[in-house]
Structure 1
C-alpha cells in the first residue's frame, strides 16, 4: 500500500506484530510493524516506524519517530553485587516465589518525555528520565542521556546539541503559538501556512 493511501482517524492504526501493554494512543496516531510499547502514551498525530521499543514514555503531539528507535530502555540494578535479573525475577529461577515488585515500580516511575513536533532519527536511543523539548531533532544513531532544549538539534554519542533550528526569538514565539494544540479543522484551514518561511508563519500567527 502506498503510504499516502493510508487513512488515519480517531483510532490508532497498528501494523503487524505489535505488542502493547498499559499504553494509550490519541487520534491520528500510528504504530509501525514489530513495535513493543509498554506503559507509555502517544498524543495525537504521533507515529513510529518499524522495530521501535518504547517503555515508560509520554510522547507529545506530532512526534515523528523513525525505525529502530529505543526510548526509555529499562536498567539493571548496578548497585547490587550482581547485575543479573535473577535478583528481581527470582521466580524464574526458583530462588523465591515473588518477584521484586518495588524494583519494577521504580523502573516505571522513571518516565521519559518527548515533546510536541519532534523528530527522533533512525536507531536513536533516549535514556529514562530524559526530556526532549518541543520541536527538537535527535540525529540518527544518537544516544541521548541528557535533556534536549526546544528546537535543538542533538547528535552523537553521547548526544550534544550542535545548533538550534531557529533564533531564540523565533523559538520563543513558536512556543507561544503552540500550533500543535490547534484543532484538526484549524490545521486544515491553515494548511498552506506550514509551507511559509518561518518568519512569515510567525508574523501571521503570533499573538492571534
Structure 2
C-alpha cells in the first residue's frame, strides 16, 4: 500500500503517483475488513474441525490445509495493518464470538452443513476481494494514463489480494466437491450466512 506523503525520487523519470485522501481511506477500510474476515475464517475452522472430524476423520488433511491458508492470510493482514497504522475494527470481540458459534454449530450439523458454511462464506469473500482488486487495478490504470509511476507497493498489494482471493475460491471449490449443496436446509443456511457476511463487512468498514 502506498505510503502517505510519498515523494518523487530524484532519479525517477516519472513522478511517483500519490493517492488521494479518499483512496487512502478506501485502503484503510479494505485492510481493516480483510483482517477481520480472516480472523473470522480461522475461528470458524478452529471451532468446526473437532466435531466434524469425529464423524469424518478423512477430512483432517483438507481442514488443516484450509485453516493453514486462512492463518497465513490473517498474518498477512496483521502485518499490513501494523505497517500502515490502520486500526482493527472495534467489533473484534463480537466477530470472534460469532465466528466461533458459526463454526461449532455447522460442525455439529455435519459434513454437508460445514461445507455449505464454507461455500457461503467464500462466495461473499471472493466477491469482496474481486471488488477490491478491480478498484485498485482501476487506480493503477489511471496513474499510468497520467504518465505517473505506479508505487510498487500498490502493485504488490494487488498481487497479494489476487493470491488470497484465489485461495479463498479454492476453498469454495473444495466445499462444493464435498457436498455443500446437499446440506439441509441448504438455501436458508447459506442465505443467512451470506447476509451475515455482508453485514459484517459493512459494519467493519465503518466501526
| TM-score, with length taken from structure 1 | 0.24
Q: 1 or 2, which has the higher helix percentage?
A: 2
Q: 1 or 2, which has the higher strand percentage?
A: 1
Which protein, 1 or 2, shows the higher relative CO under an 8 Å CA cutoff with sep ≥ 6? 2
